[in-house]
Amino acid sequence: MELMNGGQLTQLIKERKNKDSKFTDEEASKIMRGILQAVSYIHSKSIVHRDLKPDNILVGDHNDLSTIKLADFGLSAKYDHASFATEC
């Protein structure tokens, strides 16, 4: 398992709030890009996370917010693209 020294996104948000320091647009964009890339990847593998929240998003380094990983796949599920498309 990869070591993510930055901890959970929840912790980073709390630290920023305590310092009265908001994320810049660029920082928020890097975080969201990492989350969306991770979700896109697991969807390409027919997996749905089903529990996305800041507690389940890990940051590799506070100085490099592009190092985002998804964690806790306990509620995740595999799905069939064909049956999912017909239900929508």
Q: Pick the catalytic residue: 51, 55, 64, 72?
A: 51
Show the domains of the chain with their CATH numbers: 9-87 (1.10.510.10)
Cα–Cα distance for residue pair 68/34, rounded to 1 Å: 5
* Distance separating alpha carbons of residues 19 and 41, to the nearest angstrom: 34
Task: State the pLDDT at residue 2.
Answer: 82
20 has catalytic annotation = no
**pTM, two decimal places:** 0.85
pLDDT at 1: 73
Residues of the chain with pLDDT under 50: none
